[in-house]
């Protein structure tokens, strides 16, 4: 029979003494309680030491704390580096401060409420079972997919910290989209030179193994033991065993020529970038003629992506200041939410770049070989103040649509990571976990997550590297086995749980081969779904959805819930 040791934490005297005494006499009357001690401050180091001694001497095998919020005790156990004198899953906390006293004026009513909660907690404590933890060795080996600026930076940062990196690039060379840029908007270096230096440094790093013109063909396993099969363009296959995976496969741009957009004087931002890289001055030449006027029409393809604004303002400065062009930028909104962009925007205005805002798409026509743009300028809010503007230009620059890289969808299926509504790879939590995917051990960064400028990609690359290093730093992954588990005898292999698990922690990959369980004392074997404890977050979705009731959470079984509610088991 389980024996419960109870501590009433008076929280430095903030529990009224009469309330505390009545609770103590109620608890002492419960049959399974072997002792009940008041403690002035259980979250202090001395309080915790006394608790450990009492538990040992009092012969209790379950611990019930009556006091404040469970978080309070969790953090003080960590703060004082105090090993809990009992398996953490045998500890139950009743928060009488926030859940009773702070919300109930009448003391008699508060007492009744507290008694009810304590009774349930005692039942819960009696039904609780110890849960062991598991430690998984982690080799410092990581696979990085994508050799753009994000992948290169992740690989270098990890390699500098002693991690062996396998860098996989599907194209013949490293560098990605950054190689198409001529200059940064916020750094003095020339982009190709800067990327080139990074690539040659990477080539000199022995702990980076580079695979170019190669693709990931198959991935199995979970954090700490991913097995990745890769194949190069000659058909040679390699099997890599890595602890974690970083996806940095970037994005691509699309532009459908057609109608007036086929006119040779309408070009894209990328084409303009190439033109500028070849421009020798003093003027810009296009098809053998000087270009005097350039108009950008932004936000036609991507309304909320700032790369266009950044690129256009950067280019306009070069055109206006060094190549004697008059530049006009038409956009729905000037997006300057990037480091140093506000300054650059002001500089562009000072140099004479004209900005107009529009809501209705500008009308384009050809007049004497030039492009005419007609638009209503909506910079002024009052409709009566908004004027039509007509601009004639030698070159019209439009933005391409930023779309996910061609294989993003198949990659998400292969890796079992989520896609966002626009088809880019999705982070687990946009506020807190921006570079973690829904799967433990798989990280996403750079343009594959969302179109972004180089400095943002670099920041994400460093964030990913830190996350990976934090994961690998102890050489092992320690996880509580407070996870879902399948009763193989009940599982009907209906495939509901592997489809629903948000963290892809359940597999039924090789029916009747791998996921076969031998039942103790039984001859026959059962195929069944299998939960990987290191990948499971214990969210309980599979438990709720399994039609055969074959899954349970080890730390919150049906029996424990029924016991808490004092219901007969079903």
Ligand X SMILES: Cc1cc2nc3c(=O)[nH]c(=O)nc-3n(C[C@H](O)[C@H](O)[C@H](O)COP(=O)(O)OP(=O)(O)OC[C@H]3O[C@@H](n4cnc5c(N)ncnc54)[C@H](O)[C@@H]3O)c2cc1C
User: Does residue 512 interact with ligand SF4 by CB under 6 A?
Assistant: no
Residue 491 contact, options ligand X, ligand SF4, none, Cβ 5-8 Å cut-off depending on partner type:
ligand SF4
Residue 330 phi/psi, 5-degree rounding, is -105, 130
Q: Considering beta carbons, is residue 176 or 362 the nearer one to ligand X? A: 176
CB of 494 to ligand SF4, least distance (A): 4
Q: In whole angstroms, what is the distance from residue 450 CA to residue 430 CA? A: 11
494 binds ligand SF4 (CB under 6 A): yes
Interaction between residue 146 and ligand X (CB under 6 A): yes
Q: Which does 537 bind (CB under 5 to 8 A by kind): ligand X, ligand SF4, none?
A: ligand SF4
Query: Strands, E, within 260-387: which ranges?
Result: 266-268, 284-286, 289-291, 293-297, 326-331, 354-357, 363-367, 370-376
As a three-state string, the secondary structure of 77-132 is HHHCCCCCCCCHHHEEEEEHHHHHHCCCCCHHHHHHHHHHHHHHHHHHHHHCCCCC
| Among ligand X, ligand SF4, none, partner that 453 touches (CB below 5 to 8 angstroms by kind) | ligand X
Contact partner, 405, from ligand SF4, ligand X, none, Cβ < 5-8 Å per class: ligand X
Contact segment (CB under 6 A) with ligand X among 23-31, 128-136, 250-258, 538-546 equals: 250-258
In the window 391-430, what residues touch ligand X (CB under 6 A)? Answer: 405, 407, 411
Task: Specify the DSSP class assigned to residue 262.
Answer: G
Residues in region 189-218 near ligand X by CB under 6 A: 215
- What is the enclosing helix (H) or strand (E) of 390? strand 388-393
Lookup: tokens for 410: 């198949």
Q: Which member of 190, 537, 557, 558 binds ligand SF4 (CB under 6 A)?
A: 537
Whether the Cβ atoms of residue 405 and residue 416 lie closer than 8 Å to each other: no
Residue 145 interacts, among ligand X, ligand SF4, none and using kind-specific CB cut-offs from 5 to 8 Å, with ligand X
How many Cβ atoms sit within 10 Å of the Cβ of residue 285?
A: 14
Tokens of 374: 């007609």
Query: Using the rule CB under 6 A, is 301 a contact of ligand X?
Result: no
Q: Where is 309: in which H helix or E strand?
A: helix 307-322
- The reply on whether position 441 binds ligand SF4 by CB under 6 A is no
Who's near 404: CB < 8 A, 6+ residues apart?
251, 252, 419, 422, 423, 424, 425, 448
- The DSSP element (H or E) to which 27 belongs, if any, is helix 17-28
Our finding on whether 311 is near ligand X (CB under 6 A) is: yes
Min dist. Cβ of residue 225 to ligand SF4 (A)? 17
Residue-by-residue DSSP string for 175-232: BGGGGG-SB-SS-SSBHHHHHHHHHHHHHT-TTEEEEESEEEEEEE--TT-EEEEEEE
- Interacting span for ligand SF4 (CB under 6 A) from 21-29, 232-240, 435-443, 534-542: 534-542
Size of the site for ligand SF4 (CB under 6 A): 27
253 binds ligand X (CB under 6 A): yes
Q: Contact, 152 vs 165, CB < 8 A?
A: no
Shortest Å distance, C-beta 313 to ligand X: 9
**φ and ψ of 504, to 5 deg:** 50, 45
Q: Which of 317, 442, 454, 551 binds ligand X (CB under 6 A)?
A: 454
Which spans of this chain sit near ligand X (rule: CB under 6 A)? 145-151, 168-171, 176-178, 181, 184-185, 215, 248-251, 253, 269-270, 307, 310-311, 314, 405, 407, 411, 446-447, 452-454, 457
Q: Which residues bind ligand SF4 (CB under 6 A)?
A: 483-484, 486, 491-497, 501, 503, 505-506, 529, 531, 536-542, 546, 548, 550-551
């Amino acid at each position: 029979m389980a024996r419960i040791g109870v501590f009433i934490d008076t929280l430095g005297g903030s529990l009224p003494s009469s309330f505390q005494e009545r609770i103590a006499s109620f608890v002492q009357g419960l049959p399974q309680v072997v002792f009940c001690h008041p403690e002035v401050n259980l979250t202090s180091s001395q309080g915790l030491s006394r608790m450990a001694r009492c538990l040992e001497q009092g012969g209790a095998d379950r611990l019930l704390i009556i006091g404040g919020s469970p978080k309070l005790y969790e953090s003080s156990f960590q703060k004082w580096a105090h090993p809990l004198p009992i398996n953490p899953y045998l500890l139950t906390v009743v928060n009488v401060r926030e859940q009773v006293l702070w919300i109930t004026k009448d003391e008699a009513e508060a007492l009744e409420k507290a008694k009810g909660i304590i009774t349930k907690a005692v039942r819960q404590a009696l039904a609780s079972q110890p849960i062991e933890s598991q430690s998984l060795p982690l080799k410092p080996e990581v696979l990085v997919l994508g050799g753009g600026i994000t992948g290169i930076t992740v690989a270098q940062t990890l390699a500098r910290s002693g991690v062996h990196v396998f860098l996989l690039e599907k194209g013949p060379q490293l560098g990605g989209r950054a190689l198409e840029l001529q200059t940064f908007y916020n750094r003095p270096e020339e982009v190709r030179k800067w990327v080139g230096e990074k690539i040659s440094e990477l080539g000199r790093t022995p702990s980076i193994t580079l695979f170019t013109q190669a693709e990931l063909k198959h991935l199995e396993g979970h954090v700490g033991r991913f097995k990745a099969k890769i194949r190069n363009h000659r058909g040679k296959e390699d099997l890599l065993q890595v602890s974690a995976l970083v996806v940095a496969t970037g994005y691509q741009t699309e532009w459908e020529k057609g109608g007036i957009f086929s006119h040779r004087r309408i070009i894209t931002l990328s084409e303009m970038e190439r033109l500028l890289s070849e421009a020798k001055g003093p003027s810009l030449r296009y098809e053998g003629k000087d270009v005097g006027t350039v108009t950008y029409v932004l936000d036609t393809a991507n309304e909320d992506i700032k790369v266009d604004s950044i690129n256009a303002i950067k280019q306009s400065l070069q055109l206006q200041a060094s190549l004697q062009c008059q530049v006009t930028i038409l956009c729905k909104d000037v997006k300057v939410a990037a480091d140093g962009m506000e300054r650059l925007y002001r500089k562009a205005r000072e140099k004479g770049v004209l900005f107009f805002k529009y809501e209705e798409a500008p009308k384009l026509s050809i007049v004497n070989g030039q492009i005419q743009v007609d638009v209503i300028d909506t910079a002024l809010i009052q409709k009566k103040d908004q004027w039509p503007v007509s601009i004639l230009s030698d070159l019209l620059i439009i933005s391409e649509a930023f779309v996910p890289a061609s294989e993003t969808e198949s990659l998400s299926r292969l890796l079992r990571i989520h896609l966002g509504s626009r088809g880019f790879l999705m982070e687990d939590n946009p506020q807190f976990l921006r570079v973690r995917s829904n799967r433990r051990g798989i990280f996403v960064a750079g343009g594959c997550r969302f179109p972004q400028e180089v400095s943002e990609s670099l920041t994400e690359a460093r964030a990913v590297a830190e996350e990976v290093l934090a994961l690998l730093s102890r050489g092992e992954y320690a996880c509580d086995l407070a996870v879902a588990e399948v009763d193989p005898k009940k599982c009907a292999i209906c495939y509901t749980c592997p489809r629903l698990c948000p963290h892809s922690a359940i597999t039924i990959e090789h029916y009747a081969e791998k996921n076969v369980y031998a039942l103790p004392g039984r001859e026959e074997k059962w195929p069944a779904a299998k939960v990987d404890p290191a990948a499971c977050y214990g969210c309980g979705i599979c438990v709720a959805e399994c039609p055969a009731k074959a899954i349970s959470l080890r730390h919150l079984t049906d029996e424990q819930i029924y016991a808490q509610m004092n219901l007969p088991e079903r």
